[in-house]
Amino acid sequence: MTGTTRSSEGLDDRRKRLLFRCWHRGTREMDMILGGFADVHIAALSDADMTDLESLMELPDPDLYAAFSGAQPLVSPYEDGIFIRIKQFLDASRPS
């Protein structure tokens, strides 16, 4: 079971794979962060954004989680681009 609220119907194969990978990271925290972002934005990502996301997803969950939580900076070249968009999404979705 995943937490996804979005169907993969209508998505091309690359977007379907990314949506699945975002919701099946290995840790629930990263599933919620990346999966939540993918549910909302996967259909509108450019090819460059998808390449950035695929690259970002190669990093280990503990490193990504530390970066998203602000406990540790993310190493170059990952600290900008799609990471910033996901971080903004995460910050905006937190209750005040």
Domain span including residue 68: 18-93
Report the number of distinct structural domains present in the chain: 1
Beta carbons of 37 and 86 less than 8 angstroms apart: yes
> For residue 44, what is the domain's CATH number?
1.10.150.250
Q: Which of 7-11, 45-49, 59-63 has the lowest mean pLDDT?
A: 7-11
Asked if the structure places residue 60 within a domain, the reply is yes
Asked if the structure places residue 28 within a domain, the reply is yes
Asked if the structure places residue 45 within a domain, the reply is yes
Neighbours of 45 (CB within 10 A): 19
Q: So what's the pLDDT on residue 2?
A: 53
Tens digits of residue pLDDT in 14-40: 999 999 999 999 899 999 999 999 999
Average pLDDT of the residues of the chain: 88
pLDDT tier at 96 (50, 70, 90 boundaries)?
Answer: low
- Whether residue 10 is predicted with pLDDT greater than 70 in this model: the reply is yes
